[in-house]
Amino acid sequence: MKNKAIDNFSDIFDFNREKVIEIKNLDLYYGEFKALKNISMDVKNKEITALIGPSGCGKSTLLKTLNRMNDLVEGCKVEGSITIGGADIYSEKTDLAALRKNVGMVFQKPNPFPMSVYDNITYGPKTFGIKNRQILDEIVERSLKQAAMWEELKDRLNKSALGLSGGQQQRLCIARALSVDPQILLMDEPTSALDPISTGKIEELCEELKKDVTIVMVTHNMQQAARISDKTGFFLLGDLVEFGATDDIFTNPKDERTERYITGRFG
């Protein structure tokens, strides 16, 4: 169920396209260090795309280019192009607030704000000018239902979010990201700090969310990528070695380096 109270900037982005993210010949530098090398890949609408590979190979760096979080890193330089919903996100005309509203992010470590569950979820909508309590109440209920947490938290809305378990905190962070009705959700190892039961809940949640949202997920857990993703990209030393349907990557990889990684022979 979409939140009509927050404009989704549809005049800037067209999220009905089959290829919602298009990356072409992308190079990224941190100073003199080339962290991403000639990356080209497309992400289809309402699919889960997993990015796998050893630590330090460029997965999270690529993820952060998609909502321009790398802008915050001194000495970062991007060459090539990234279009989201048909719009060049590195254009000078790009509205960063609109971009980050539509391209939400969930981090490796749960990072709820030190405030109530209710205030965590309404923080984003309030920054977009929503003050009506009834609308905010509806957003809280919708977001928690989307994150499969409403029954758990409906009687704890005014309690501190810091009192929740790690798995609950991470799902709350997903609900917080969903509160502004993003079209794309970036997830940077969202289950790496969680126990198997919490991990399973987030995987189930992702499969439910992709009915409405496109998900790009960095994961070190190859079983997780195999379980829930539609497409998988294997990164190594800043290169996108192989990208394709997840079943193909895991059962019939075209590149020997991919096969060595997924069979545990390196990395």
Give me the pLDDT at residue 267, please: 52
Residue 145 lies in a domain: yes
Q: How many residues does the chain have?
A: 267
Whether residue 5 lies inside any domain: the answer is no
Amino acid letter at 25? N
Measured CA to CA, the distance from residue 154 to residue 163 in angstroms comes to 15
Q: Is residue 143 part of a domain?
A: yes
Question: Which pLDDT value is given to residue 7?
Answer: 52
Q: What are the two backbone dihedrals, phi and then psi, of residue 115, each rounded to the nearest 5 degrees?
A: -150, -175
Structure tokens at 21: 């993210």
Whether 178 is in a domain gets the answer yes
CA dist 69 and 46 (Å) reads 22
CATH code of 190's domain = 3.40.50.300
Question: Could you tell me if 215 and 43 are in contact, meaning their C-beta atoms sit under 8 angstroms apart?
Answer: no
Whether residue 83 is contained in a domain is answered as yes
Residue 13 lies in a domain: no
Backbone angles phi, psi at 114, to 5 degrees: -75, 65
Give the model's pLDDT for residue 141.
97
Residue 11: per-residue pLDDT: 65
- Flag whether 161 is in a domain: yes
In DSSP terms, which residues pair with 244 in a beta bridge?
232
**How far apart (Å, rounded) are the C-alpha atoms in residues 267 and 264?**
7
Q: Is residue 236 part of a domain?
A: yes
DSSP letters spanning the chain: ---TTS---TTT--TTSSEEEEEEEEEEEETTEEEEEEEEEEEETT-EEEEE-STTSSHHHHHHHTTTGGGGSTTEEEEEEEEETTEETTSTT--HHHHHHHEEEE-SS----SSBHHHHHHHHHHHTT---HHHHHHHHHHHHHHTT-HHHHTT-TTSBGGGS-HHHHHHHHHHHHHTT--SEEEEESTTTTS-HHHHHHHHHHHHHHTTT-EEEEE-S-HHHHHHH-SEEEEEETTEEEEEEEHHHHHHS-SSHHHHHHHTTS--
The total number of structural domains in the chain stands at 1
Q: Supply 173's token pair.
A: 């962070």
Q: Which domain holds residue 125?
A: 19-89+96-262
Whole-prediction pTM: 0.93
Residue 208 φ/ψ, nearest 5 degrees: -75, -40
* Mean pLDDT per 10-residue interval, the chain, length 267 residues: 46 88 97 96 98 94 95 93 95 89 93 97 94 97 94 97 95 95 95 91 94 96 95 97 97 96 79
